[in-house]
Amino acid sequence: MFNTDMTFIIDSQHLYLEIPPSSQMPEQMYSTPGASRRAWINQLCLEAFLPWLREEMAPNAKVSPNIATLPSFWEFINGTPITFNNHRLILVPTLAIDGDELRIPQEWVDIPEWVADYYIGVEVNPDDNLIKIFGYTTHQKLKNKGFYDINDRTYCLETEDLIDDINVLAVAQEFNTSETLQSQISPLESIPANQATNLLERLGNPEVIFPRLEIPFTVWGALLAQPNWRKKLYAKRQGFPTERSVSQWLQTGVANLMEQWGWEKKEFITVASGMRSSGSIQGLSRQLIIADNTYELRIFPQDGGEDIIWRFELRNATPGGEIPVGFKLRLLTEDLQDFENNQDIATTPVDVLYVEVILEPGEGLIWETQPVADDYEREVLRF
């Protein structure tokens, strides 16, 4: 535990950064006091480190997949993922002062979709508003030299095996060294949807204090690797509704959880085919960054007589802007299967890409674009 009587001893070997005065406890809900405190420490660490990284090494550095998803990580594990210069790092904060090791949750090391190139150990001192970068390592070194602690499912590396000067990483980036950063790991076998549903019910109970230790890692890792299941598990532990449909969102308004993941309720102007008259309709809207430009994904219902037709549209967010040649809007079933007329491709520059589908109540779809949108995570939208 953190000893409030201790303070940092400033040295020339490590990087120290100030925690911004505006930093405060996250407003986001968490299921346990431990998770809330973990989120707070990770947020302090992120707010001190990311501006430095952008200024000194990588202006394009950003949280991955995006800031809104962080609660669904911090609810379960310590660490913050950041991408920069086609690399990925995990910030791993600790309250321990002058610790003798870096402890990294297994999820960041053995879930293939989560693996990073670098893992950075950070001592956080909230009382003195400072963080200390005490060392970093690579995935390759962690797997080869690290000790796996079966009790709390962490990989541990002693500080003597860490590179304590973060500037070494900056030099490696500048000169583009060919160092092997990642070790090969085995893929995790996917779990059936019905098993995932049962696990969500069981582990979604907030009285289960450490859900990550309740089931074998191969199962736990496969569950978290699916963004939709991870988000649902997080929502269940907060008591948020997880199975409300798009129709219900449009009737009652988009909940806080949907807003965090980028959606908003919006009114669209529609023009009837062959007519000058126009009308309006309520739908969902989400901004996407694709190939460094901003686009809008729209979802709204259309009258199809006895059937409800749902229309998915991709538009350029700039008035008068077009969708470039080669862009694709694609829909998949919940189990990632194609179906007839499930995509639209721009063979010439166009104003809009769209796909229309007739869905039964309760059906779910997954959307995706090509090129892939920045910070994209698959999500199941229920109708």
Tell me the backbone φ, ψ of residue 175, rounded to 5 degrees.
-100, 0
Query: Which residue in 298, 295, 293, 271 sits closest to 282, CA to CA?
Result: 298
Please give the CATH topology (third level) of the domain spanning 15-175.
Answer: Trna Endonuclease; Chain: A, domain 1 (3.40.1350)
Q: Where are the domains of the chain?
A: 15-175, 193-238, 246-382
Structure confidence at residue 8 (pLDDT): 47
- Which two three-digit tokens encode residue 127? 């009382």
Q: Which positions ≥6 away from 213 have C-beta within 8 Å?
A: 152, 153
Give the whole-angstrom CA distance, residue 55 versus residue 84: 12
The CB-side HSE value for 307 (13 A sphere, CA atoms) comes to 9
Could you report how far apart the first and last alpha carbons of the chain are, in Å?
A: 47
DSSP string, 262-298: T-EEEEEEEE-TT-S-EEEEEEEEEEEEETTEEEEEE
Query: Which has the closest alpha carbon to 109: 204, 228, 217, 264?
Result: 217
pLDDT of residue 1: 31
Residue type, 49: F
What's the rounded Cα separation, in Å, for the pair 242 and 245? 9
What pLDDT, on a 0 to 100 scale, did the predictor assign at position 247?
78
pLDDT in tens, the chain (383 residues): 333 333 445 566 789 999 988 766 666 689 999 999 999 999 999 999 999 999 999 999 999 888 888 999 999 999 999 999 889 999 999 998 777 899 999 999 999 999 999 999 999 999 889 999 999 999 999 999 999 999 999 999 999 999 998 988 888 777 766 788 999 999 999 898 899 999 999 999 999 999 999 999 999 999 999 888 998 899 899 887 666 677 777 776 655 556 666 788 888 877 655 445 567 888 889 989 898 899 999 999 887 677 788 999 999 999 889 999 999 999 998 878 899 999 999 999 999 999 999 988 888 888 999 999 887 888 888 88
Stated pTM of the model: 0.81
Structure-block tokens of residue 18: 């100030």
**Strands 130-138, 118-125: parallel, antiparallel or unpaired by DSSP?**
antiparallel
- Residues written for the chain: 383
* Per-residue model confidence (pLDDT) at position 249: 72
Cα separation, 191 vs 188, in Å, equals 9
Q: 227-238 and 217-225 helices cross at what angle (nearest 10)? A: 100
Secondary structure (DSSP) of 216-236 = -HHHHHHHHHSHHHHHHHHHH
Q: Residue 255: its pLDDT value, please? A: 57
pLDDT for the residue numbered 11: 64
- Do 126 and 19 meet the contact criterion of CB atoms below 8 Å apart? yes
The answer to whether 261 and 69 have CB atoms below 8 angstroms apart is yes
Helix 193-203 vs helix 227-238: angle between axes, to the nearest 10 degrees?
Answer: 30
Q: What pLDDT sits at residue 19?
A: 93
Q: What pLDDT score does 170 carry?
A: 82
Q: Which helix (H) or strand (E) holds 370?
A: strand 364-370
DSSP-based three-state secondary structure for 302: strand
